[in-house]
Structure 1
């Protein structure tokens, strides 16, 4: 349960102001069909994070516990710094092939926008940290849904109501604490 809850909380916080949240806003404004957008976000995130979780679990089989501990600590500390750098939506990510329909466009746009993103990297690290990578993937997927789906339904009002800079600072502190804890424990 710890892996699920930590993963959900961290990714939900890390996702606020992230480029995929901005992508949610763009898709909602463009298509105005929240259900297929939310479904596309879910499927893309689940698939992307399942791959990331499997990669994290695989890392634990390759590396000894001491090496893994140092890599995880450095990764969490680097993630803390990365959280303080605001994301922007790349111009090319706004326009995807709309001939795929709303669901298909969202699925492809989200899957590729999430590649190498903070939340995907966090999923790899969390899956390497916790022995139950399925709980991690479930948690990170839920965290993505908690951060992105309200934006699909409530649009720009939702992003203005949350102080994004404060959320990024809190997320950075949590990642820093996880990094320090990995060094100590």
Structure 2
């Protein structure tokens, strides 16, 4: 169960206010199909998370428990630093979507998720858990929780929020959490 909660919180925090939220809001604004866009994003996230979990399962026997903890700490720090990057401009960065709402969500959302969804956190959580596949529903639920506000608000209202400050704060929390986990694994605190 620790993999479920860890990945749910990391995915929810990591995707809040990022490029994927903007893409989801844009696709919903253009198509008006919130459930279709959400289903496409969830499918892309589930496929990528399943691959990350499988990698975590394969690597788990090769690491000591201390290494599992350090890997998780590094994954959280890297994800937190990645969250502190810039937020995209108001223009649609992917051109005019011709794939439809579902296809655009799967293809474009999958590309964004592969680049910055914290799949390393998913793999690290799966590697250290006795129930590694519990991370799969955690990623999908966390993604849904992060995307729904942007999709329901629409792009204009979403961009009025202080997204940069939100991302910086959440990124700092993830970095701090990773540092604390790393120090506690090495028994320095």
TM tier, smaller: 0.7 to 0.9
Match of 1:181 in 2: 181
Kept after mapping to 2: 8 A contact 1:4/1:135:
yes
Change (3 A) 1:77 1:173: same
Change (3 A) 1:76 1:29: same
Change (3 A) 1:167 1:87: closer
1:81-135 per-residue CA deviation (whole Å, 9 max, x = no partner) reads: 222223437x88523762x432122112211221131432332232234332222
Match of 2:110 in 1: 111
Q: Using structure 2 for the length normalisation, give the TM-score.
A: 0.80
Change (3 A) 1:8 1:71: closer
Q: Which stretch has the larger CA shift, 142-151 or 66-75? A: 66-75
Kept after mapping to 2: 8 A contact 1:72/1:179:
no
Match of 1:136 in 2: 135
- Considering only aligned residues, what root-mean-square deviation do their CA atoms show, in Å? 2.7
1:54-76 per-residue CA deviation (whole Å, 9 max, x = no partner) reads: 22222212333333333333332
Which segments of structure 1 move beyond 4 Å, counting only runs of 4 or more?
161-164
When you count helix as a share of all residues, which structure comes out higher? 1
Summarize the alignment of residues 146-157 of structure 1 with structure 2, pairs less than 5 Å apart: 146-156=145-155, 157=157
What number of residue pairs does the alignment pair up? 184
Q: 5+ residue gaps in structure 2?
A: none
